[in-house]
Structure 1
């Protein structure tokens, strides 16, 4: 026999063994279909749990940057004591004009932000609310609602716009969402009257369930500890054609040259600020760590479920496996068969879990008012974790399979 014929026969033999192995794994699953359905439901539950935890974790990152995403600027200046966007600490108010003097800087816009107490105008219950004070001539946010007419209304002391994503327990008249019907409502903010003159659409974060927008003068009336000599953030737009990193370095160099308190301001590009904000909420807050641990727990739970399923199946078919060994099939064939079976379980359970996750994402987003979305990253990650989970369980269950000796037949 020629070498090419031998090689062809070996290839055919390998293909046949692969078909036999896959057919045997599939037969094990379909032999007792009710048990298989229960197994798929158990593994699907673990996969769904991973999707939900990752969805919640993703929403932490999305809500962390909800404000920064609407700031059309290139560089952000913040205090060295900055914690997160709703607790930004303070900079000197003259930092903005100093930076504005740089030729490569087009504008340096101040933003005041803080969290204070809102009193529900209907039942008088207190709630924590974010207050954002903007320069009405140079708004910090890119919002279509900030028309010239609306900014004119905000010139009146105590006038505010309220985010329509603010939760219902802040007291909208219809009991569900703030809207045109609430224009003219006077609420108490830190004991001071605040008149709603309109709404805007931005979205709240996990640090506060509601937000209002006002002038910097009104901000100083509504937020304790604020001062006209201080500002929370300074947003810098570079001149056209200026490289982002070069512009950031020029701003940082200008502050260093000034020395004193101004030189201590942190200078970040807007993208770096967003990354830092997400990282802080992922790794330094209880809520981010809880959801990250939830993903790990879901993998462990799924692994335990998968192991119980595969170990039970091996025990139920121990005599069949022993027969195969008596017929001359090696241990490696049996191991690959079990791993094929575990891969099939993960593959079958994955699609319905994706559909269930999409439904739950939509329901949770609607009820909780936070964005939860499916991403390609989550799909790929959960698919890999599902295969890892099931195949690891299969490797552990192999211990039972190795006991499948021909002597067990007698």
Structure 2
């Protein structure tokens, strides 16, 4: 019977302190990659959460559109032109602009994203908006985003306790604010460009932003008839509407937003760079571990070579060590990340969460990182000559 000796494991575990330090280094790199990927996914998820919560089959936007937070308005009558096309059932305008909300507890002002629509029907998928739509039909009644950052004060807590809440909203150039009453809550949450959200009806929106014209809208929602072909209607609208607007599907709308944060802002570049740097750091760390291990046991490897073991076997031992380090280092890294994700989510209100895709991506990266290090560290082993050692 042939006994298989776990040489790779025995070499690693023989020096326990070095082995534990190696695992700690790989766990650190795994945590670093998890956090970078987690924040990157949170960037995209938070930036497109409003897109996912809008009722619409197609969306009309300005040809100069960059992102939700960059105001690019277009003439309202373009949207009503779309209403005349075959397959279109209804259209709804959406108005969006930044203002400053005064914290009712301490009087400090912070930027707030105000979203205005005509509440004849709900254009939001959120149940809280749909169930309390009639409240928004009254003037000077607003809905507050309960997931907004903490600097806006205990508004959501007051509402949940049944206390009346009046807040003051300021245009950026205004010294005097406009007072409104909070009539309800909803949940969208902040993003990297928005700290909090308010939903108002159009009449309240124009009272807040007296310099805005009702004829300039930011987003047009297009609802299609049940039997309409979305691609056919999209092609028809794109071909016949003027070039100052463009029609997109929900997925295209979200892709535009993601591309803006990835390509037009430093944030996307920084996240990608940090993930890459984490991988490089991991390769260097594991390379140092494996190279040191090979150097320490070079005489043993030379003895095995003199006994007839081929380079293929010796190299397989090193790659086994790389896989062991990747697997055992990944486990504590994964566990630590779960706790850090909870801390980051509570601190930022961003949608940072673990999922199977992140787990697989980081595990694959850890294995690849260790295998690359294993390949680089075996150069000396491939050239070892028993005659030189003895």
The alignment covers a number of residue pairs equal to 385
Q: Are 1:30 and 2:13 counterparts? A: yes
**Distance in 1 (alpha carbons) for counterparts of 2:354 and 2:158:** 26
Q: Following the alignment from structure 1 to structure 2, what is the Cα–Cα distance between the partners of residues 123 and 383?
A: 47
Report SS of the residue matched to 1:146.
Answer: helix
Residues in 1 aligned to 2:180 and 2:360: alpha-carbon distance in whole angstroms = 48
Counterpart CA distance in 2 for 1:287 and 1:210 is: 20
Give the corresponding residue for 2:178.
192
Q: Structure 1 residues 29, 383: CA separation in 2 closer, same or farther (over 3 Å shift)? A: same
Equivalent position to 2:192, from 206, 213, 227? 206
Question: 1:408 Cα shift?
Answer: 4.6
Deviation at 1:117, TM superposition (A): 1.9
The higher radius of gyration belongs to 1
1:7 maps to what in 2?
A: none
- Report the alpha carbon displacement of residue 131 of structure 1 after superposing the two structures with TM: 0.3
Structure 1 residue 363: Cα displacement = 2.3
Map 1:130-279 onto structure 2 (within 5 A).
130-147=113-130, 150-156=133-139, 158-172=140-154, 179-180=160-161, 183-190=164-171, 191-223=177-209, 225-256=211-242, 263-279=243-259
The match for 2:300 is 320
Deviation at 1:181, TM superposition (A): 5.1
Partner residue, 2:372? 392
Shift of 1:396: 1.4
Give TM-score, length-normalised by structure 1.
0.87
Which shows bigger deviation, 315-324 or 274-283? 274-283
CA distance in structure 2 between the partners assigned to 1:179 and 1:233 by the alignment? 31
**Are the counterparts in 1 of residues 91 and 221 from structure 2 also a CA contact under 8 Å?**
yes
The offset of 1:78, in angstroms, is 0.3
Between the aligned partners of 1:164 and 1:316, the Cα distance in structure 2 is: 59
Aligned to 2:314: 334
CA gap of 1:130–1:177, structure 2 versus 1, over 3 A, is farther
How well do the aligned residues superpose, as a CA RMSD in angstroms? 2.3
Helix, strand or coil at the partner of 2:127: coil
Q: Calculate the TM-score normalised by the size of structure 2.
A: 0.92
Given candidates 10, 21, 27, the residue that maps to 1:44 is 27
User: Structure 1 residues 297, 63: CA separation in 2 closer, same or farther (over 3 Å shift)?
Assistant: same
Gaps of 5+ in 2: 172-176
Alignment-derived partner of residue 83 in structure 2: 100
1:350 corresponds in structure 2 to 330
Deviates more, 1:91-100 or 1:119-128: 119-128
Provide the rounded CA distance (Å) in 2 between the counterparts of 1:214 and 1:75: 23
Deviation at 1:147, TM superposition (A): 4.8
Q: Distance in 2 between matches of 1:214 and 1:126?
A: 19
How many Å separate the matches in 2 of 1:249 and 1:81?
19
CA contact (8 A) 1:75 1:237 kept: yes
- Over 3 Å counting, the alpha-carbon distance change for 1:61 and 1:178 in structure 2 is farther
Asked if residue 115 in structure 1 is aligned to residue 72 in structure 2, the reply is no
Residues 408, 72 of structure 1: alpha-carbon distance in 2 compared, 3 angstrom cutoff = same
In structure 2, distance between residues paired with 1:66 and 1:313: 49
**Which residue pairs with 1:290 in the alignment?**
270
SS in 1 for 2:241: helix
- Deviation digits for residues 382-408 of structure 1, max 9, x if unmatched? 122111111111111113324533235
The answer to whether the 8 Å contact 1:164/1:179 transfers is no
Q: 2:174 aligns to what? A: none
Partner secondary structure for residue 64 of structure 2:
coil
State the shift of 1:164 in Å. 0.3
Q: 1:337 to 1:232 in 2, by over 3 A?
A: same
Q: Structure 1: where are the runs of 5+ without partners?
A: 1-11, 257-262
